[in-house]
Structure 1
Amino acid sequence: MFYVRYFSTLLLILLWSANDAHNFSLFDIRIDHWKINTRRDLVINTPKPRFSWKIHALDDILHRNIQQIAYQIQIYSVKLTQQDELYQWDSERIISSQSIHVAYTGHHDLLHSTFYRFRLRVWINNSVVACKWIEWIQFRTAIFNLHEYIINNTDLLWIGSTEINMNELRKEFNVSNASPVKSAIVYLSGLGYYEFYLNGNNVDPSRKLDPGWTTYEKRTLLVSFDLTANISVGMNAIGVKLGNGWYSQEQHGKETYSPPRLIFTLSILFENGDQMQVLSDQTWLGREGSIKHDSVYNGEIYDRRSDRLNWTRPAFNDSRSAWITPESLKSPINDTSVGLLVLQDMPPIRAGSDALHTEVMIDSLEYGYLNHKDLGNIKGASFADGGIIKPVDMWISDSGVQTFDLGQNIVGWCRLKFQGPSGFGTYIRHAEILVQPVVSTNHATHNLNTENLRNATASDMYILRGDRLGEVYEPSFTIHGFRYLSVFGAPNYLTTDNVECLVVHSETTLKGHFTTSNPIINQIQHNIQWGQLSNLMSVPTDCPQRDERRGWLGDAALSVDEALYNFDLIKFYLNFLNLIVDMQLPNGAIPDIVPGGGGIYPADPNWGAALPKITWQLYRHYGDRQILEDYYDHVRAYIENVRSGYNDTGLKNLFWRYGDWLPPSPFPRTNEHLTSSFAFLHNVYILLNMSQILEKKHDTDIYSLFYQQLAEEFHHVFFNTTSNYYADGMQAAQVLALALPGVVPPTIRNVVLNYLVNNINLNGNHATTGIVSMAQLYPVLSDNGYHDLALEMISLTTYPSYGYMFTNPYENATTLWELLNAPFLGPMSSRNHIMYGSIGAWFYAHLAGIDLSSEFITIRPRMASEIKKHLMTKLDCQLSTLYGLVRIAYTRDERDTLPNSILLRITIPPNTRARIIFEPLFVGGQCEKLIESDTVIWALDNTTIINHQKIEIEKNVATNLMNAYIESGQYEFQALWI
C-alpha cells in the first residue's frame, strides 16, 4: 500500500511539474481594496487603482514553494457608442513577485464615469507558461469631482418638506430614445436614511440604514447605483423612502439637522451618444407614507393602512393621499469650502445573509483537529445561521405578554407575521436582559429589563392593514440591540415560526477563526466576534442598545487590532479615519467621539490614540504604505497637539479625562496621569515607526530623541523607589510601564514583573485593570515569561474575569459586557460592548502566535508549560491573510508513545515564506527531535543538517528555541522535548 501511494504521489508531482500553469488559479482579486467577488456593482473612486490577488494551488498538500515570478494586467475601456473596447493599459509581463497593491502605471489616468474591464495572469516558479487569464472583470469609475459636480449643477436640489413628514418621494420619467440604453448611473443621498425603488422594485433590498453616518456638515456621503439593466423604454418610476437616522434633532439636538431630505441624479447614456438626466427638483411629488415616526433610539411607528402598494411603479394613481410638491431645502454642507459631498467608498450596512461573507472554515470539526468534546458547548448563534436568527424559546410572562429568547445578543430587528383586523395595533419591545428573580421568593417574572437602555425606548409599533392572508412587518429606519423581544397586544398567538430576526451590520468578511480545547476561550472568542459585528454600524460604535451607540474613539482604538484579525475592514476603517480627520482642529486636536455630536475637545490621550492606532494597525494588517502617507501629517499634528499640553504640565500632570476606564469594582483607577502618559508615549512610538517606514529621517531623529526623553521622564516621575513599583502599586500602572519600550530599566524589570505577578496572585489570579491596561496585560505576561499565568487568568470564571460573563448564576453572555459585574448595576451596564474585545488580538498574535509584520510570516504558538498543559492541549486557528490562508493547529502529546511532544500542522499560502518557532515545553527543555511528515529533519544527537523539502533548521542556544524556515505549502511537524 505504501508503494502505491508513493508512486501515485510521485506521478502527480511529475505531472504538475510538466504542466504547472494549469494546477493553480487566482482568487480574492481586489481593486482599490474592493473584493470583486462581494461587489455586485464595482465602483472605483480613483484614477490610479491598485490590484491585489492570491494564488491557489489545486492540490495544496503536494505543492510547496509556490512563488510568483511575474504578472500581467490588462485594462480596456468600454466605448460609449460601440460594442467594441478601447485598449487602456497593458502592463505586459512584469518580472515581480508582488501580488498586493500593484499600481496602475498607464500613461493616462482612468477617466471618471467610465466602464472598464480588466484581467490578469501570473507566472510561478520557473514556468514559461502563465496561468490562464482570469475572466474579464468589469468595474466603473466614479465621478472623481463629485462635490464640484453637485454644487455646480444649479438644477439639482435637495428636496423634502418642513411642513409635513415627507418620507416618500416619487418621480416618473419617460425614456423615448429609440437607441438602447448604454449606461444609467444614479448618485443619491437620502438623509438621514433612504430606501431606493425603481419600477416597483427595491434596487438593493439587503442594503439598510444608508448612507453611512458622518458629521454631515463636514462630509455627506452619496451612493451610486448602476441601473443600466433596469431602465425600461417608455415610462419609468423612481421611489425613495426617507428616514430620520442620525440627521435629526431627536438624535443630536442640532437645530441644523432635520427634516429628511433627498438629492438625486440619474444620468442615462444611449448607444447613439444621446444623454438624458433625471434630477431631484420640484417636479417630484412627496407625502407622508406608512412610517409615521422613526428614530434610531426609539424605534418606528408603522401604519400598514397607509401603504400604497404600487407607488413606485409607473402610472400610479392615488386618490386617497395628498401628494404635494416638495420644497427646496438647504444642503447639509453649510459651507462648501470646509464640507464635502463624496462617494460612500465603503461597504454598506446590510441585513441577513448578505451582511457577512466568509474566507475561513467555520466548523473546525471538518478538519478533525478538534472534536465536540474539545470545543465545549458554545452559547449563542453560529455564523452558519446565515444572519437570520430564530427564537430558541418563547413564554408568556406574568403580565400576559409573549416574550421570545433568541439565545444570542444581536443587533438588528425581527420580521413578525401577524394576522388580524384592520387598525389593530401591536407593540414590540426589545431588551438585552430579563428582570432578575426576587431574592426573597426566587420568583422569576420573565419580563424584559429595559433599565440599561436608559432613555432609548427600543420599541416598534405596528398597525395592521387587515390582510386576510396575514402580513409581515419589519422596521426600515431603526435598529435594536437585544436578545429578547416582547410582543404586546398581538392580534394572533405567535409561535416561533412567526418570528425571525435579521442580524444587521456593516458588510464585511469573516477572515479569522479561532478555536481551542479550552471552552472558556472558545466562548470568549464567540462573544468577541458577535460583539464586534454588533458595533460595526458604518462607524465603530461602543454599544448598540441604549441611547448612545456613538463612535467613541477609546473603544475604536482598543478594539481595532482584534477587529482586523477577525474581519476584513479596511474600507470601513479608512472611512472612519476620514471622519476623525474631518473633526480635527487646525491645532491638531481631535474630540473623543466621532462623528460630531457630543464629542469634547481635546480627547483623552487614550481616546485620541484612535487616530495613530487605527492608521498603524491598518498598515500592519494590510501592508499598505499609502495609508501611512495619507494620514501621517494628521497623526503628527495630533501628537504635537498633545505635546503642547505636555510642555505646560510634563508627564506628572498630563491631561486626562477617563484614565484607565472602568476597572472592576471595588478596585480604583490607577494614577490617571500615568495612564495618559502611557498613551502619549505609545503614540509617539507609533509616529516614530511611521517616520522610519516613510523614510522621513528628520522626523525620525526628532521623535527618537523625544521618545527617549519621555521614557526617562516616565520612569523618573512615576517609579516609587521606596516600594519598587510604579505610581500607586496598582496592576495597571505596572502593566502600562512594562508595555512601553525602554521605560523600565533592565536592572529593575524583573522586580516590577515580580511585583505585578505577586499582586495578581494575591487577587486570586484576577486582573484589577481597566480597559486601557487590560489590552496590554496579557501580551505583557506572555512576552515576559508568565504565559502560564496569562492562560490561568483567561480561564477563570469567577469575578472579575471574562469567563464570569457567561458562567455567573444571573445571565449567560453571548457578547462582551461593558462592566464585569453588569448584573448588579443599572443604566451603566451594556451587555454588548466591544472595549474589552482587545483580548482577541492576543488570541491570534500570542496563542496562535501569528506575526505578519516582517518580510516573512512568523508563527510562534505560545503554549502552556507541561505543568499547565491542561489549560489548552489543542488549538486550531485560521487567518485569511493578504496572500491566502494561514492555518495553525497543534495538539499536545497526541501519541502516548511520544510524551513531551507537540504535533503542529501548518498551512502557509503561496508566494510567501515562514519562520516557525518551537518553544520548549518546560523550563530548561531541549528539543530532542524534529520530525516533518514522518521524516526526522533534526536530532539533538546528530549535528548533520538534514536537507528535507528545503526546510532550514536553526537552534537558538541561549533560549533553546527551534526555528524552522519553510516555503509555502502544508506541513506536519512533530517536536519532541527532553
Structure 2
Amino acid sequence: MNPTELRCEYSSDPIGIESERPRLSWLFDSARDGERQIAFQIKVYGDPDSIGKKTEVICWDSGRIESNCSHLIAYSGQALRSRQRCWWQVRVWPEEGKVSGWSDLATFEMGLLHRMDWRAKWIGLPPPAGRGLEGWTVYLRHEFNLRTKATRGRFYLTARGLYQAFINGRRVGDHALSPDWSDYKARNYYQAFDITDLLEVGPNAIGVVLSGGWYAGSIGFFGQRFHYGKLPWFLGQMEVDCDEGVISRSVTDGTWVASAGPIVSSDLMQGEDYDAGLEMPGWDRVGFEAGGWSPVSLEDLDRAELRVSPTPPLRATLEIPAAEVRRSPKGWLVDFGQNMSGWVRMKLRGTPGKPIRLRHGEVLDDEGGLYTENLRDATQEGSIQVNDTDVIARESSFSLNGFRYIEVTGLAADPSPDDFTARAVHSDLPLTGLFECSDPELNQVWRNTVWGQRGNYVCVPTDCPQRDERLGWTGDAQLFAPLATYNMECVGFFRKFLVDLADGQSIEGGIPEVGPRISTFLDAAPAWGDAFIILPWLLYQMYGEVEAMAMHFEAMERWLGYMEKANPDGIRRHRLNGNYGDWVSLGSETDKILIATLYWVECAWLMEKMARVLGRAEDARRYADQAERVVKAFDGEFVDGDRLTSDTQTAYVLALRFGRVSGAKRTAFQERLIQLLAENGGHLNTGILGSAHLPEVLARAGRMDLAYQLFNSVDCPSLRFMARNGATTIWERWDAWRADVGFQNPGMNSFNHVALGSMGVWLYRWVAGIQADEEHPGFSRFRLAPRPGGGLDWAEATYNSVRGAIRSRWEKDGERIRFVFDVPPNTEAVIDLPEAEGSAAEKEIVVGGGRHQFERTLS
C-alpha cells in the first residue's frame, strides 16, 4: 500500500500557498482488495539535500499518527515564512503487513504572507488627450541586470484589470485573462510564477500588456463600464536568488515606462482591435529603444488585501479546428461545431489600410447568417489591420466570446478551415467525471452539461458567456453545483466564489445577487442568496472541505438573521429583493413566498448540520429549533389537507425536497406530483428551481421510470429536445428555439446557460448510483446504488473523488444484469442493488477497496 499523487491544498507542488497550516493529501497506487491505512507519518523538510543526514532540516515530523485519513492533513510544524519552500513525503501503515516505503518527495512554497512583504507600487498610464478611456490598453516595460546566474526566480504579479507578462520576449506562465475577477475594493488576487529559466546573466527585460478587464471594462447589463475604476493598473514584484548568495529584487515603480501599442482597444464583451502597423518589434526584449515611451503613473498600495486565488487559473485548454468555412452574404462564416467561450487563433491575408472584421455568435438565423440579436449590448466584435506583409497570425489577448460561429469580412484571399482554430478558455478545473451509456443522444446531453460548465466557469460561475451580462449569479451557481462537482474538481473554484459573496455582504447581512458584487445590483433573492449556505455544505459532502464553512459561518449567520429579522412569523414574505421564483418555468407560476419559505427551511437545517460538524452544539440546537418553527409555519400557511395551496409541479418538488415532509403527507404529495406530470403528458413544466430537483425527488419516491421518462422525452421541454435541435451546450430556456415559432425573445435567450442542466446530476447519482454519504464526507464511505432502466442496455460513470477513482457500470445480458464497481483503496462503499427476483441476499453490501462484480435477475 504505497502513497502517491501527493497534493497540498488540492494542488501538485504549488507555489504561493497562503495558509500557515497548509493541508496535505495523498492517494494510493496499489493495494490488496479491502486494504486500509491505519496510520501515517509525514515529514516536511526545509532542505531536500539534507534528507538522511545528521544535518537534516526538518520543519515537521508528525511521527506515527493512528488514523485512516489521507486527505487534508493540516501541517503542524514550525511556523512557515513568506517565500519558504518545503519538501514533504509520507509513509503509511496498512491493517496487515509492513509499513510502506516513503513516497516520492512533493513540494509546496509559501506566498507573500504579509503586507510588508510587498515593496511594489501600482503602475499605469492614462490615455492621451482626446482618446477615451473605453478599451484602453497599455504596454509597460522595464530592464534590470543580474550579475550572476539565477538559481531561483519568482515573479509575484497582479492587476486591477488583466495582464500578460513577458521576460526577454518569452511569456510568463500560460494563464489566460489573469488575474481572477474579485471585489477589487476588498482584495486583489496575485499570481506567483517560477521564472528561473526565463532569466539571463546580464541585462534582462520585462514587458507587460495591461487591459481593463473586469476592473474597468464592460460588466453586466447595457455594456456598463468602470464599476471599480477607470484605468487599469499593474503590480509586480520579482525576487531572484543568484549564485554566491546574491538576492535581486525588481518591483513596479517609477523606473518603468509605458506606451500605447498595437492592441488599440480591448474589452471582454466588446472585443479587441489590433493594428499590426503599430507593432513594436522587440518591445519586451533588452535593447529596445523606448525613447518615445512615457513615465508611468504611480499609486501606493491601498487597503485591499493581496491574496493568491484559491481557484485554478483560466487557460485555453482545448483547441478545436474549424469544421466548415463557407461564404456568407457579408463575408465568410466559420463553424467550429461546438458552442464555447474563448477566442479563435487565425492566419489571415488582408489588405493594408482595410480592416479585417470579426463577429462571434452562437447560432445561425433562418437565412443561415450569424444570429446576434441575443447578444444585446455585447458586440463580441473585433478588427485586425495588417501591415505591409499583408498576412497575420493572431488571436485575442483580452476579450472573451461566447460562440460556435465567427463571421470574417475584409479578407484579401479565400480562407480555408486550416486558417482557424477555436480555443476554449475557462477555469482550468480538472475533469473528474465521465458518464456514458448505450444511448448516444443521452451521452450528448451529458456532454452539453460539461461544455456549458466550461463556457460559464470563468473564475466565477456565470450565467452566460456571450451577452451583456456574464455575471456570477448565485441561483444558477447553487443549482448547478451538485452536477458541477461531479464533472470537475470545483472546490477551489467555489471557495473563491464564497469569498466573493462574503466580500459583497451588506452591513445588514444581505448576500449579493451576483458575486463579485457590482454596484448596480441589490441583495439577493430567495434561492439565490441561499447559495451562501448551500455551497459550503456541498463542498463538505463532496470534498470533506471544512475550512469554507468555518471561515464563513458567522457571515452565514448574518444572512439567516437578515431573513429572520424581516419575517418573525416564519413565513418569508419580506426582504425578498428580486424574488425570481421558479425562473423560466412553463407552467402556472409557483407561489414565490412558498418557494422562499422552503429555502429558509433548507438553510436552517444546513446551518444545524454545519454547526454540528464545527462543534457548535448550542448553535446547532438553535438552528434546529428555527427549522422546526419555519416548517410549522409553512404547514399552517401552505398545506391544505393533501394538497399545497400552490398546486404546481415545482411546489411539490421543493416541498418534498426541503419541507421535511413525512408519512401520509409525503405519500400524498408524491402522488399529486405524479398526477401533475401525467396531466402534462408526462412532461415537466418546471423552471430552474423545480427542474434541478425533480428527477431526484421522483427517484426517491421509487419512480425511476418517470425520471427516465423526463430524460427520454424528445419534445420541448426537455434536455434531449435541445440536443436533437443542434445544442452543444444547455439553453437558457426550454423553448429557446422551436421549429414552429423560431427564436424566443432575444432580450433573454442564451444558448449557453447551465441552470436547466442541473438535473443532469441524476445521471451520476441514480443511473450510475454514485452517491455521497452525509456522515462520511469526501467519499471516505459512499453509496453505489445504480438503478437500470429507461431502455438503456448499459451505463457507466467514473468519478475521480478526492480519495481516488470510483467507477460504476451495469450492463444487461438477456434477463440478467451485471454490475461492476471499482472502489478506491482506503475507502468503503455501501452497495445497494435493485431488488433481485427470488433472492434472499441482503440488499445492502459493504465492501472495501477493489473491484466488485455482481449479477442479478431483475423483476
Smaller-chain TM-score bracket: over 0.9
Bigger Cα displacement from structure 2, 115-124 vs 654-663: 654-663
Q: Is structure 2 residue 734 aligned with structure 1 residue 766?
A: no
Equivalent-residue separation in structure 2 for 1:166 and 1:837 (angstroms): 37
Equivalent-residue separation in structure 1 for 2:24 and 2:570 (angstroms): 48
* Shift, 1:872, TM fit: 2.4
Q: Is structure 2 residue 709 aligned with structure 1 residue 828?
A: no
CA deviation vs aligned residue, 1:75-105 (integer Å, no higher than 9, x gap): 2114999999732222233333211111212
Report the residue type matching 1:101 in the other structure. L
Q: Is structure 2 residue 859 aligned with structure 1 residue 975?
A: no
Residue 738 of structure 1 corresponds to which residue in structure 2? 656
Q: Is structure 2 residue 736 aligned with structure 1 residue 819?
A: no
Indicate if the aligned counterparts of 1:535 and 1:543 stay in contact, CA closer than 8 A.
Answer: yes
Equivalent-residue separation in structure 1 for 2:363 and 2:117 (angstroms): 49
Q: Is structure 2 residue 408 aligned with structure 1 residue 487?
A: yes
Equivalent-residue separation in structure 2 for 1:791 and 1:81 (angstroms): 60
SS in 2 for 1:207: coil
CA deviation vs aligned residue, 1:828-856 (integer Å, no higher than 9, x gap): 10000011121122221222222222445
Indicate if the aligned counterparts of 2:41 and 2:92 stay in contact, CA closer than 8 A.
Answer: yes
SS in 1 for 2:57: strand
* Shift, 1:249, TM fit: 5.4
Equivalent-residue separation in structure 1 for 2:567 and 2:309 (angstroms): 38
Equivalent-residue separation in structure 2 for 1:619 and 1:129 (angstroms): 30
Residue 317 of structure 1 corresponds to which residue in structure 2? 289
Q: Is structure 2 residue 601 aligned with structure 1 residue 681?
A: yes
Cα distance change, pair 733–778 in 1 and its aligned pair in 2 (3 A): same
Match of 1:555 among 456, 472, 476: 476
Equivalent-residue separation in structure 1 for 2:575 and 2:184 (angstroms): 33
Equivalent pairs counted in the alignment come to 837
Residue 847 of structure 1 corresponds to which residue in structure 2? 767
* Shift, 1:115, TM fit: 1.8
Q: Is structure 2 residue 613 aligned with structure 1 residue 693?
A: yes
Residue 964 of structure 1 corresponds to which residue in structure 2? 845
CA deviation vs aligned residue, 1:156-192 (integer Å, no higher than 9, x gap): 343333547561000001122x4x4343222211231
Match of 2:546 among 621, 625, 641: 625
Equivalent-residue separation in structure 1 for 2:682 and 2:87 (angstroms): 59
Report the residue type matching 1:607 in the other structure. W
Equivalent-residue separation in structure 1 for 2:312 and 2:209 (angstroms): 21
Cα distance change, pair 80–476 in 1 and its aligned pair in 2 (3 A): farther
Percentage of identical aligned residues: 28
* Shift, 1:652, TM fit: 5.7
Residues 5-24 of structure 1 mapped to structure 2, 5 A cutoff: none
Residues 92-171 of structure 1 mapped to structure 2, 5 A cutoff: 92-106=63-77, 108-131=78-101, 133-145=102-114, 147-150=115-118, 153=119, 156-163=121-128, 165=136, 167-171=138-142
Residue 5 of structure 2 corresponds to which residue in structure 1? 28
* Shift, 1:502, TM fit: 0.5
Residues 212-227 of structure 1 mapped to structure 2, 5 A cutoff: 212-227=180-195
Match of 1:797 among 714, 737, 755: 714
Match of 1:505 among 407, 426, 436: 426
Cα distance change, pair 109–763 in 1 and its aligned pair in 2 (3 A): same
Q: Is structure 2 residue 176 aligned with structure 1 residue 262?
A: no
Report the residue type matching 1:671 in the other structure. D
Equivalent-residue separation in structure 2 for 1:170 and 1:676 (angstroms): 54
Match of 1:459 among 360, 381, 385: 381
Indicate if the aligned counterparts of 2:571 and 2:597 stay in contact, CA closer than 8 A.
Answer: no
CA deviation vs aligned residue, 1:631-674 (integer Å, no higher than 9, x gap): 22121221111111112783466735233343344x23210111
Indicate if the aligned counterparts of 1:419 and 1:466 stay in contact, CA closer than 8 A.
Answer: no
Cα distance change, pair 476–315 in 1 and its aligned pair in 2 (3 A): same
Equivalent-residue separation in structure 1 for 2:580 and 2:687 (angstroms): 9
Q: Is structure 2 residue 261 aligned with structure 1 residue 340?
A: no
SS in 1 for 2:581: coil
Equivalent-residue separation in structure 2 for 1:741 and 1:161 (angstroms): 56
Report the residue type matching 2:177 in the other structure. L
Equivalent-residue separation in structure 2 for 1:269 and 1:495 (angstroms): 49
Equivalent-residue separation in structure 1 for 2:106 and 2:667 (angstroms): 58
Match of 2:24 among 32, 42, 51: 51
Q: Is structure 2 residue 532 aligned with structure 1 residue 564?
A: no
* Shift, 1:343, TM fit: 2.2
Indicate if the aligned counterparts of 1:874 and 1:889 stay in contact, CA closer than 8 A.
Answer: yes
CA deviation vs aligned residue, 1:456-487 (integer Å, no higher than 9, x gap): 1101101112337x321101000100011110
Indicate if the aligned counterparts of 1:580 and 1:611 stay in contact, CA closer than 8 A.
Answer: yes
Report the residue type matching 1:159 in the other structure. G
Indicate if the aligned counterparts of 1:419 and 1:491 stay in contact, CA closer than 8 A.
Answer: yes
Report the residue type matching 1:863 in the other structure. R
Residue 208 of structure 1 corresponds to which residue in structure 2? 176
Cα distance change, pair 652–786 in 1 and its aligned pair in 2 (3 A): farther
Residue 903 of structure 1 corresponds to which residue in structure 2? 818
| TM, length-normalised to structure 1 | 0.82
Report the residue type matching 1:287 in the other structure. S
CA deviation vs aligned residue, 1:654-709 (integer Å, no higher than 9, x gap): 735233343344x2321011111121111111111111222211112111121111
Residue 740 of structure 2 corresponds to which residue in structure 1? none
CA RMSD of aligned residues (A): 2.3
Q: Which one has a bigger Cα radius of gyration?
A: 1
Report the residue type matching 1:247 in the other structure. Y
Residue 193 of structure 1 corresponds to which residue in structure 2? 162
Equivalent-residue separation in structure 1 for 2:696 and 2:10 (angstroms): 30
CA deviation vs aligned residue, 1:908-942 (integer Å, no higher than 9, x gap): 1100121101122xxxxx5435xxxxxxxxxx4xx
Residue 236 of structure 1 corresponds to which residue in structure 2? 204
CA deviation vs aligned residue, 1:26-77 (integer Å, no higher than 9, x gap): 33321122134xxxx53321221111111121xx7xx311212332222211
Cα distance change, pair 112–255 in 1 and its aligned pair in 2 (3 A): closer
Cα distance change, pair 423–585 in 1 and its aligned pair in 2 (3 A): same
Cα distance change, pair 349–305 in 1 and its aligned pair in 2 (3 A): same
CA deviation vs aligned residue, 1:413-435 (integer Å, no higher than 9, x gap): 11111134433420011100111
Cα distance change, pair 539–270 in 1 and its aligned pair in 2 (3 A): same
Cα distance change, pair 272–860 in 1 and its aligned pair in 2 (3 A): closer
- Alignment gaps of 5+ in structure 1: 1-23, 353-386, 437-444, 921-925, 930-939, 941-952, 956-961
CA deviation vs aligned residue, 1:129-153 (integer Å, no higher than 9, x gap): 423x3332233111111x3433xx4
Report the residue type matching 1:307 in the other structure. E
Equivalent-residue separation in structure 2 for 1:681 and 1:195 (angstroms): 47
* Shift, 1:489, TM fit: 1.2
Flag as ranges the 4+ runs of structure 1 deviating above 6 A.
79-85
* Shift, 1:518, TM fit: 3.1
* Shift, 1:787, TM fit: 1.4
Q: Is structure 2 residue 512 aligned with structure 1 residue 587?
A: no
SS in 2 for 1:630: helix
Indicate if the aligned counterparts of 2:138 and 2:260 stay in contact, CA closer than 8 A.
Answer: yes
Match of 1:837 among 748, 757, 762: 757
Indicate if the aligned counterparts of 2:784 and 2:829 stay in contact, CA closer than 8 A.
Answer: no
Report the residue type matching 2:818 in the other structure. L
